Structure 1
Amino acid sequence: MQKTLFIKLTVIASLCVLFAIGLTMFSSVITERQYYAESVVREIADQHVNPQEIITPFIAIPVTTTPECTSAANKANKCAPPFTTIDTVFAAQSLATQNLDVSTDTYQRGIYHATSYNGDISFKQSYKPQTAIESIETADVQTDMPDTTAVRDTIATAKQTITHWEQAKLIIPVSDLRGVPTLPTVTIDKQTLKATYPSVSVLNGLSYVEVALPQNTVTQLKANATALPHTANSNINANQAIDITIDLPLVGISNLNTVPTGSNFELSMQSNWHAPNFIGKALPNTKDFSAEGFTANWQNQYLTVANNQYLSQCLNTANNSCTVDSRARLDSGNPADYEAAAVVVQEAAGSTNHGNLNSVRLNSFGVSFAEPNDVYLQTERTMKYALLLILISFGTFFLFEVIKSSRIHPIQYLLVGCALLTFYVLLLPLAEQIAFWQAYAIAGSSCVGLIGWYTYYVLGGVKRAVIFTAILAGLYAAFYGILTTEDLNLLLGAVFCFILLACVMVMTRKIDWYKIA
């Protein structure tokens, strides 16, 4: 008798191992489907529009520097050639407002889709005199000359610089200009202008649109930078700020990052999306969620100042030799990105040497519009309880054998286990087509119904079949409840396992296992 019990337990354990191998194989199917869905999103990004990263607009002024030679005799063949740099003027105050309509219906490939956003972004900026003076002075100090040994031996400290004020432009960097359906409208001191694409890009690595500053604005900017009390034009006051408003329509997918620059930067975002994932180097200072979506506000002075320093130093390298890496990535959770951003913060704060800058990655923050119900993640989490479900089902069958003296063949154990595995085979394809809770309900009801009907014949009675069906249905309901409580799922799962074990121990406390027939 004991030998028969041992054989039965061995068969049950072997079946559990077999089903565990099957679950592992099915996990590879989930990974494959998830990878294919991500590849579709990448394909949509390549063909239509990428995630967007926006750098707060700033004013760029070309500067030509001509080094002077130490000796007139060597001037003919050893003088350093003239080189160009870009002086930057950042806004003293910037208020960015982003109103985004997020949808999953815009870009689709069969059952797969990319989460896209379409909205209006506005910047209200003020360029004050003191800010313009500090920007120009900082740029002059940090200007780098061509790094060649022959030139360094023949260049004196003196140099001639020409600031091309007439070529000053407002720069509006957008990482993927395909997502700008119409060129932005810019209002400068109540004068409405239309942005244009640059004929020749003077900023290495940046994709942007630009606005040529009006003559009166250039005169005002020059007066601010040179700190003149008045100019030949009596209407120009060196103490007057330059007010700029930018209305930028924008389209993108997956996530939107914003790079803050200037002295005082504030970002306000409103969207109809209910499941935002805040990303980047700073979380919002305030956020609010409602039935209509969410609102969030950012303000981080440290990152803003760091971006100012690093961006101005990069643009002031000779002959546009430094690249500004401004791209939003689909995988915003990559630890390498955060590590690189941390290095940028340290360097921009002055902890490392900026003598030779090749490329920069600025600090940004924003939102990733993640799917609120990732069917692959939820299916994978559901499968973590699969082996427990099979063990409980087999254990219930075994208790019926022990307590009620039922005779259940190993083939019947095998068929019930296969029916339990069919639940996961049904769940994933259904969840790709409909809501996850609906897929879970359909797959669970189908399997519970099939197994309940089968146990009527296996256990030999309606009452026993109803008891087993109720236990199985309760397990599915309990597991779904655990899955939907993301913050407490581990705790609830542990408590649930403890309760199940306690129930089994209570039910079998009076069984004399040595006398089982």
Structure 2
Amino acid sequence: MTHETDTATAAARPAGTPPPFQPRGFLNSPGVKFVLIGILTVMLMVPCLFVWALVEERAERARDVARDIAGSWGGTQQINGPYLVVPFSETLAIGSGDKAKSEVHWRTAVLFPETLSVSGDVQVEERRKSIYSLPVYASALDLSGRFAAPPETMFEPEKGGTIDIAADRAVLVVGIGDVRALKSEVALTMDGGTAVPFEPGTGPLLNGGGASGINVAVPALKWRKGFSFQIPLTLNGSTAVFVAPAGQSTSVALSSNWPHPGFTGAFLPDRRTITETGFEADWSIPYLARGIPKTLVTDRLPLQDKQLGVRFVEPVNFYQTISRSLKYAVGFISLTFLAVFVLEMRSGWSFHWIQYGLVGVALITFYVMLLALAEHVGYGLAYLVAAGAATALNAVYVGSSLKSRSAGAVMTVVLAAIFGVLFALMNEQDYALLIGSVIAFLALAVTMFVTQKIDWSGRGVEGRAPAANAA
């Protein structure tokens, strides 16, 4: 009889009207459900880790393709030099009488240019392979300056022996990051005379740090008195170009058509101009700022770790951006669950914790969609499509489950705001922590006041609904 009465009552209730309040069980009480939602949020971090691993896997694949393109076109270029390299020996007399003998120790003296000027134009384009791309460039550089006559202290005995200078074996050495990418022959012009072609290799210097290079012989009559030089370089490269401040006084002037430069290295430019069509930058490094004497006795290319340069940064590295956004996933999911929870408490319909899980999975699927679409259409459009799809799906699902169009509209606004804030956080690295902390505080404040009248025990008062439902 009671069942027939309940059936008749339900049939008489207008569509969309919440059912009359019934005391909740323990697991369905607001307090317990709130705790279960928190546990569910933590559990959803496990699939987030899998998505993060997927992002890293795709990023590594992109790096592999970039290395493949660079291997064919040219890698990061490092212009280090020129240096005047002169081998010399020190002969030591050991023992006396019949047992007397001599030992010869060879060393290498390196003289830095008195002045060095590097100027060039770097034309950048994107080369694609499959769905991946890499900024590559063709550069025309000009190295000019002057070597002063070497100081008398350039060849000094280390152990009190006799010095013998191999004057006819002096060479001019220029280190180049990827010598395979040279697009024309390279020649040295001394004092405006006849150009002398370079030979491969760094001569008596070792290729420190894996650098390759070129060298050319310099007559003793030239280097002993000092000479001016000019070296034109035409070479390809990718990702970045670096220049070592090899001169006692060095000036560098670079221009490019790439509008997203990332200046890096041991020295930043004194002047830079960045427009939508490219950039221009100038460096000036005086002798004292370089921190290295005019001459060195070494068998390696100097200044490998004190270079200046520019990276050709892609406008959006979406792999890195998506990876960063996953760090905000717990707050992202928590805010969404909080909105659903408040809407549930203010309606007469129950939203099962499994339904909360489905909403969370839809939010995680957003990241997968964003990754997949960004590889094809770019980050901005991919974010708009993925966020729109996730917002529409969850808003319709929550609204239909709670039998309330207003609940669906509220979820649309809430999710649109969350996705908008997440997009802003990903594009504002400097203030991301500040923005995130302010949003977390505001979300906590709203939660405290919106849930203030909720009967967390769920028992209510017999014969009427809790205050939250009455509201």
Common fold by TM > 0.5: yes
| Match for residue 181 of structure 1 among 169, 173, 183 | 183
The correspondence of residues 327-338 of structure 1 with structure 2, limited to 5 A, is: none
Q: 1:202 maps to what in 2?
A: 204
Q: 1:306 maps to what in 2?
A: 292
Task: For 1:369, give the aligned amino acid.
Answer: F
Q: 2:4 maps to what in 1?
A: none
Q: 1:465 maps to what in 2?
A: 408
Structure 2 distance, partners of 1:200, 1:384, is 47
User: How does the TM-score come out when normalised to structure 2?
Assistant: 0.82
Q: 2:8 maps to what in 1?
A: none
Q: 2:173 maps to what in 1?
A: 171
Task: For 2:232, give the aligned amino acid.
Answer: D
Q: 2:11 maps to what in 1?
A: none
Task: For 2:347, give the aligned amino acid.
Answer: K
CA RMSD between the two structures: 2.8
1:256 and 1:367 in contact (8 A); partners too: yes
Q: 1:235 maps to what in 2?
A: none
Structure 2 distance, partners of 1:162, 1:398, is 85
2:174 and 2:202 in contact (8 A); partners too: no
Task: Indicate how the Cα distance of structure 1 residues 387 and 86 shifts in structure 2: closer, same or farther if over 3 A, else same.
Answer: closer
| Match for residue 28 of structure 1 among 53, 64, 79 | 53
| Match for residue 279 of structure 1 among 264, 269, 272 | 264
Q: 2:317 maps to what in 1?
A: 374
Offset, 1:308 = 4.2
1:260 and 1:307 in contact (8 A); partners too: no
Aligned length: 431
Task: For 2:253, give the aligned amino acid.
Answer: S
| Match for residue 51 of structure 1 among 63, 69, 76 | 76
| Match for residue 162 of structure 2 among 135, 138, 159 | 159
1:485 aligns with 2:428: yes
1:90 and 1:132 in contact (8 A); partners too: no
2:340 and 2:398 in contact (8 A); partners too: no
The correspondence of residues 412-431 of structure 1 with structure 2, limited to 5 A, is: 412-431=355-374
Q: 1:60 maps to what in 2?
A: 85
| Match for residue 114 of structure 2 among 76, 92, 98 | 92
2:188 and 2:198 in contact (8 A); partners too: no
1:99 and 1:121 in contact (8 A); partners too: yes
2:155 and 2:163 in contact (8 A); partners too: no
Q: 1:140 maps to what in 2?
A: 155
| 3-state SS of 2:199 partner | coil
**Larger Rg, first or second structure (1 or 2):** 2
| 3-state SS of 1:324 partner | coil
Task: Indicate how the Cα distance of structure 1 residues 492 and 36 shifts in structure 2: closer, same or farther if over 3 A, else same.
Answer: same
Select between 66-75 and 50-59 the one with higher mean Cα deviation: 66-75
Q: 1:122 maps to what in 2?
A: 142
1:261 and 1:308 in contact (8 A); partners too: no
Select between 369-378 and 506-515 the one with higher mean Cα deviation: 506-515
Offset, 1:489 = 1.2
1:450 aligns with 2:393: yes
Structure 1 distance, partners of 2:308, 2:316, is 23
| Match for residue 79 of structure 1 among 83, 86, 102 | 102
Provide structure 2 residue ranges, at least 5 long, that are not aligned to the other structure.
1-22, 461-465
1:59 and 1:170 in contact (8 A); partners too: yes
Structure 2 distance, partners of 1:400, 1:22, is 26
Task: For 2:337, give the aligned amino acid.
Answer: F
Offset, 1:90 = 2.8
Q: 1:352 maps to what in 2?
A: none
The correspondence of residues 231-310 of structure 1 with structure 2, limited to 5 A, is: 242-300=227-285, 301-302=287-288, 304-306=290-292, 308-309=294-295
Task: Indicate how the Cα distance of structure 1 residues 307 and 484 shifts in structure 2: closer, same or farther if over 3 A, else same.
Answer: farther
User: How does the TM-score come out when normalised to structure 1?
Assistant: 0.75
Q: 1:324 maps to what in 2?
A: 301
Structure 2 distance, partners of 1:411, 1:456, is 16
Task: Indicate how the Cα distance of structure 1 residues 412 and 207 shifts in structure 2: closer, same or farther if over 3 A, else same.
Answer: closer
Task: For 1:133, give the aligned amino acid.
Answer: P
1:211 aligns with 2:216: yes
